[in-house]
Each structure stands twice: as structure tokens, then as C-alpha cells.
Amino acid sequence: MAAVTYTATAGERSLLPAIPAGLRAAAPVTLLLVLGFLAPLLTVAAYAFATPKSFDVFRSFTLANFSTVFDPSNTVWMSFAWSLGYAAATVALLAVIAYPIAYGLNRMFGKGSGLVGVLFVFPLFVSENVRLYGWVLFFIKNGVLDGGLKWLGFSGGPEVLYNPGAILFGMLYVYLPFMLFPMSLGIAMIPRDLVDAARDLGASRLMIWREIELPLAMPGILIGMLLTFVLGAGAIAESKILGGQSVITIAQDIEVAFTYAQNWPLGSALALLLVAIVSGLALYVLSKLDLDRILGKR
């Protein structure tokens, strides 16, 4: 049976080169990103300018929702401050906690440290709420800690739950994998031959860390810090479960606006402000960093 060949017409030949092959290949992913990320964000932005306590999205335009947020009598800015403060504290503490762990994994397992670091991701397969309620059972009065100490003859455990410190502990526990895994990958990129050569040339341990190890691992560290900060700014389960709502975060205000209050425009305005603040802070910090020097390009 003779093969059938198809020859493109002159018009088709002139049209095909007009669309680069890379753009045609990226079209499905681009469409997915637009539908999955850009469209919801634009919808939230549209609701933020809708009439308060209504669903007149795309049919009205008002700044009343933002005026409510900026009202001096409104305590929503305290929620913003708590969320951003907790996120910053989580990033700072996890950077100190995760770096020695990532460094030890790299020294013990070498290039396989990234794979071993995946083990720290396994807890993510269990719901965050379930894991946090596990800590509640551990710390609660007559729970594992308190009951165990009483069984050993002590007076009982300290009051750990339902305070700001418990929220910070929960955030450190939940977001440790998000800091540790990128940091492990960054440290795994450090060539051991370069470290050995610096040591042979008489460099001190502190100098090797400051001039070689830290700059080469900085891409992974920055990714971990940025990821942890973004996730921490939107945290809600830790304050509700471990903190007993002793601290109200901005994510909880957004949840209340979308659910109990049925004020979607106000919730959208709060969400849009949170995105703007977190993005602005992240871009500001990145703009102040000399990435070329950190990455060793000069």
C-alpha cells in the first residue's frame, strides 16, 4: 500500500515558523498555569473591589473593603503583625536548626544527602492537623508528658499549650522539612575537593565556611528561607490547634471573612494585601542581597 504524503501549502509554511517551537511546546503548561494560578488570583482581586458583603464581582468597583482594613479601630493589622512576626521568627530559628542537620547529612551521606533528606518529607504524607493534634495529646494536662511525669513521681508537666510559644513550636515542627530539604541540596552542591584544597592551603575552618561553603550553599538556603517565610505568613492551623486562638493570625481573619461572616470581598481584600506584603518583603530582601557575590560570580 503506497504511503500518503502531505505537503504543507505556502500559507501553512508561512504560519508555522511564526510560532517558535518552544512556545508551542510550553503552551499546555502555560494554559495550566493561567487556569490554575492566574485566574483564581484575578478572581480574588476582583472580589476585593466588589461591594462589601455581596457577590457583585466584576459588576461593581469600590474601595470600601480596603477602607475597612485601614480603619484605625480595626485590629486586623495586629493579625498581620503576628503572622509576619511568626514567619520571620520561624525562618531565623529554622535556619539555625536546619543548617547543622543538613551539614551533618551531607558529611555522612555525601551526594546522597538530598535523597536522605527526602525522609524528612515523609511526615507531610500525614495531615498537618493530625500531626498537630498528636502534639496536643502529648502536651495536654494528663496527656503523655504530664501523665508520664506524674507516673514517675513528679508533680506533672509544665503548661505548654495555648500560648504564643506553642504556636512557634508548631510552626518550627511543621516547616522544618521545607527549610531542610532545599538546604540539604544546596550544601550537597559544595565540591569537597575545593574544601580540601582550601584546607591544604592553610585556610581555617571558619574561613572555609565563610568563603566557600556558605556562598556555594546559599542558593539552597535562600530557597528554603523564602519558601518557609511564604508558608509561615499564611499559617493558621498552629494558632488554632496549639495556640487555642490565643493569637489571631491574618489567615484566620481571612477564613472568618470567607466562612462565618460571608463577606467574600473583605476576605479577598485581606488576601490581596497579604500577597502584596509578602511578595513585597521577599522582593525587597532579594534586592538588597548581592546575589552575584553570594553565588560566587565575582
| CATH code of residue 286 | 1.10.3720.10
Residue 223 within any structural domain of the chain? yes
Q: 90 and 4, same structural domain? A: no
Residue 103 within any structural domain of the chain? yes
Q: 7 and 132, same structural domain? A: no
Q: 262 and 122, same structural domain? A: yes
Q: 135 and 14, same structural domain? A: no
CA distances from 244 to 11, 110, 170, 200, 240 (A): 68, 42, 12, 55, 5
Structural domain count of the chain: 2
Residue 60 within any structural domain of the chain? no
Q: 78 and 32, same structural domain? A: no
DSSP assignment of 224-290 = HHHHHHHHHHT--HHHHHTSTTSS--HHHHHHHHHTTS--HHHHHHHHHHHHHHHHHHHHHHHHHS-
Residue 195 within any structural domain of the chain? yes
Q: 247 and 171, same structural domain? A: yes
Residue 62 within any structural domain of the chain? no
Residue 13 within any structural domain of the chain? yes
Residue 68 within any structural domain of the chain? no
The total of other beta-carbon atoms located within 10 Å of residue 122's CB is 9
CA distance linking residue 19 with residue 92, whole number of Å: 46
Q: 103 and 25, same structural domain? A: no
Q: 226 and 276, same structural domain? A: yes
What residues make up the domain containing 197?
A: 73-294
Q: Along the 298 residues of the chain, how does pLDDT read in single tens digits?
A: 455 555 555 555 555 456 777 777 888 888 888 888 888 888 888 899 988 888 888 888 888 888 888 877 778 888 999 999 999 999 999 999 999 988 888 877 766 666 666 677 777 788 888 999 999 988 888 888 888 888 887 777 777 888 899 999 999 999 998 998 888 888 888 888 888 888 888 888 888 888 888 888 888 888 899 999 999 999 999 999 998 888 899 999 999 999 988 899 999 999 999 999 998 888 887 776 665 555 555 5
Q: 274 and 126, same structural domain? A: yes
Q: 272 and 126, same structural domain? A: yes
Q: 273 and 139, same structural domain? A: yes
pTM of the model: 0.81
Residue 65 within any structural domain of the chain? no
CA distance linking residue 186 with residue 213, whole number of Å: 9
E strands, the chain, where?
A: none
Q: 3 and 100, same structural domain? A: no
Q: How many residues are recorded in the chain?
A: 298
Residue 25's pLDDT is 80
For 92, residues 6+ apart whose C-beta sits below 8 A from its C-beta are: none
CA distance linking residue 285 with residue 282, whole number of Å: 5
